Structure 1
Amino acid sequence: MKFQWLLILLTFIAGCADSYTEQTSEPDTLVLKVAAAANLQYAMTEIEKIFEENQPDISLEISYGSSGNFFSQLSQLAPYDIFFSADTKYPRKLVEQGFIAETDYFPYASGQIVLWVPEGSPLDLKTSGIQILLDPAVKKIAIANPRLAPYGLAAVEAMQHFQLYDQIKDKLVLGENISQTAHFIESKAADVGVLAFSLVRVPERNDRGQYWKIPTDTYSQIIQAGGILKTSPHPAAARHFREFVLGPNGQEILTRFGYSIPEAN
């Protein structure tokens, strides 16, 4: 009888050990948390797909939003591994504040802005260009919030360059980020808007609207930069992903979505 109880006890202990091993074993795939500016959504989705095909041991978890909001979150130690901003200002601030090492800061793309109207709009951008903003038919103009989104700030600079801003500022509808700005136009909450060129290169907009490139000498160059957070638990994997984005595959995708290779900044 004692032998039977001893056998049962040993079996129970062995089962507990197996259960503990299962619960504490490391997952096969490392999850890298990425904070990315909203203008990157389509390009980054393609980058994510190819990167994960080549690196099946690393899974990307990407969140999109305004660079300003991400800066606030990262300053409060939000749990991200790597940050892709829509400008250089916010990553530089994180370097200055000690959240990103200087060696882990990197420029990765340079963007452009365009005017965009949805399919069926009576507005003719090809003929009027930015002067279309003065058309009486234009009641609402969507841009990203210039306090949070670099593409919104570029939109304001262009309007000021053409001496239009004071005449149209009361018509502005501000999106929290550039993706929400696009939604305002698509949903007819705005008649026209200023978007990142990368967002109109995708079929769902390229085939359902028209755009006009705003001359790049009318606004500050939009150099986009990023950085690896010092608090990242996976710095090696984050650097590996950075090198992929900066390498031939990543740069080819970014170029195809309307970005250009930036100068070091």
Structure 2
Amino acid sequence: MRAAISVAILAVIAMTAEARAETVQLYAAGSLRAALTDMAKAFEAESGTGVEAKYGPSGILKDEIAAGAKADVFASANMVHPQALSAAKRSGAVLLFARNRLCALVRPGLKVDSASVLDRMLDPAIKLGTSTPKADPAGDYAFQVFAKAEQSRAGAQAVLESKALQLTGNASSAAPPAGRNAYGWHVAEGRADIFLAYCTAAREAQKQSGDQQVVELPENLAVGADYGLTVVAGASSAAEHFAQFILSPTGQNILTRHGFAPGQR
């Protein structure tokens, strides 16, 4: 009898150790790197389960998952890419977990404010940086700004789209030095005078280069970004738990500390 009990106890210990040793494979938008790095540490401290993350443009990550990449949780900078996986039965339901918006990151010395940012972007002498549409939602959001500009000024959309330098978000985009914010790096290197980027990322760039400016877009140009979360089909229960942790008050507080608005209202 004692032998049977001992065997049962050892089996439970083995199962618990196996569950704790399990690692969640996270694919996430690059703009979430800092927040989800802290999130993963907090989750591991609470659950004992590690998180291994791959960050990059959401559109590219979505294509990799659709092609069979081993991912458990996908955190996208839009709702469209995870919804595409869900519609194809490659993942479960898609939940809104964070919100962001676009700002203008401006090189030092260039006079720009919310009232003048459209004039500056239209100026032929100004180099305007964006990310790459379709591959990276930040690029799609930038082009939404251009569409809104058309409503204020006829012909603005075509001008902005034609001059936009798609400097980030593509597999062939120049990579910044390790630890360097990509948008701030391009501005510092003179490739862009104004870069339309997530406000969270623009503020990170400003922390690295204090003389770079972050300008809020005026209401008539403002574009928000909804971030979608989905658990990939066939993922473990640990992946479900990590997704729930992101949506929990603890997870939402971590996102808020990093400048995101809560996904759940």
TM (norm. structure 1) is 0.78
Whether 1:225 and 2:228 are equivalent positions in the alignment is yes
- Residue of structure 2 in register with 1:158 after alignment: 145
Deviation at 1:66, TM superposition (A): 0.9
Comparing 219-228 and 69-78, the one that deviates more: 219-228
Corresponding position of 1:115:
104
1:43-74 deviation line (CA, Å, top 9, x unaligned): 2222223222323x211111111111011111
**Letter of the structure 2 residue corresponding to residue 157 of structure 1:** Q
* Aligned partner (choices 39, 50, 55) of residue 47 of structure 1: 39
What is the rounded CA distance, in whole Å, between the counterparts of 2:203 and 2:183 in structure 1? 16
CA distance in 1, matches of 2:36, 2:133: 23
Q: Please state how far the C-alpha of 1:181 moved relative to its aligned partner.
A: 4.2
- Structure 1: distance between partners of 2:97 and 2:144: 23
Task: Tell me if the contact between 1:124 and 1:132 (Cα under 8 Å) persists in the aligned partners.
Answer: yes
Task: State whether residues 200 and 259 of structure 2, in contact with CA within 8 Å, keep that contact through their aligned partners in structure 1.
Answer: yes
- Which letter does structure 2 place at the counterpart of 1:48? A
Choose from 161, 164, 168 the match for 1:172: 164
User: For 2:72 and 2:211, how far apart are their aligned partners in 1?
Assistant: 36
Q: In structure 2, how many angstroms separate the alpha carbons of the residues matched to 1:182 and 1:73?
A: 27
Partner of residue 12, structure 2: none
Shift of 1:26: 5.5
Match among 135, 148, 152 for residue 123 of structure 2 = 135
Structure 1 spans left out of the alignment, 5+ residues: 1-24
Counterpart CA distance in 1 for 2:219 and 2:55 is 25
The question of whether the paired residues in 1 share the 8 Å contact of 2:114 and 2:216 is answered with: no
CA RMSD between the two structures = 2.6
How far off is 1:132 after superposition? Answer: 1.6
Aligned to 2:210: 207
1:144 paired to 2:140: no
Residue 67, structure 1, aligned to residue 58, structure 2: yes
Give percent identity, aligned residues only: 23
Q: Is structure 2 residue 33 aligned with structure 1 residue 37?
A: no
Count of equivalent residues = 233
Whichever of the two has the greater Rg, that structure is 1
| Residue deviations 1:116-149 (CA, integer Å, cap 9, x gap) | 124x3333335623322123441x2111111222
Name the aligned partner's letter for residue 260 of structure 2: Y
* Aligned amino acid, residue 49 of structure 2: I
Cα offsets for 1:88-109 (capped at 9, x unmatched): 111111111010123xx32101
Assess, with a 3 A threshold, how the Cα gap between structure 1 residues 259 and 154 changes in structure 2: closer, same or farther: same
